[in-house]
Homo-oligomer: A and B are copies of this chain.
């Protein structure tokens, strides 16, 4: 057997990447549902590492700003996030995750067992290689069309 395995076609690689992405999304959505969150709500909560203006959140979620209003309304009704006025610009409202919100999204991430378990099958070298390759891929993929 060769040290360099057969080169996959680009289509094969695209398809495999899509399959991984789909599986990961399923895992995330299932964990979120387990905590009474819709996928969208969980996705929004996952962005809130720090205070974030509504507009910025809309950009991250790639949707209209008016949509974010409703999503945050529902999260706020459950005390998972707060709206805070921005001290520098009175037009802006910053969204902040509450302690409860941070805790719940932490658990969701923790419970992505399919994804987590799959990564456990890689040894240290493989993890490092995968990390390096995906890291090279990332900037190109995040370019705006």
Binding site for B on A (CB under 8 A): 4-8, 10, 12-14, 16-21, 23-30, 62, 109, 112-122, 124-143, 145
A119 lies within 8 A of B14 (CB): yes
A145 lies within 8 A of B21 (CB): no
B141 lies within 8 A of A20 (CB): yes
User: What residues of chain B lie closer than 8 Å to A135, measured between beta carbons?
Assistant: 16
Stoichiometry, as copies per complex, reads: 2
User: What residues of chain B lie closer than 8 Å to A16, measured between beta carbons?
Assistant: 131, 134-135, 138
B18 lies within 8 A of A24 (CB): yes
B27 lies within 8 A of A130 (CB): no
Give Cα A13 to B14, complex, Å: 20
A14 lies within 8 A of B128 (CB): no
With A8-B127, A30-B145, A109-B14 as given contacts, are A122 and B117 in contact (CB-CB < 8 Å)? no
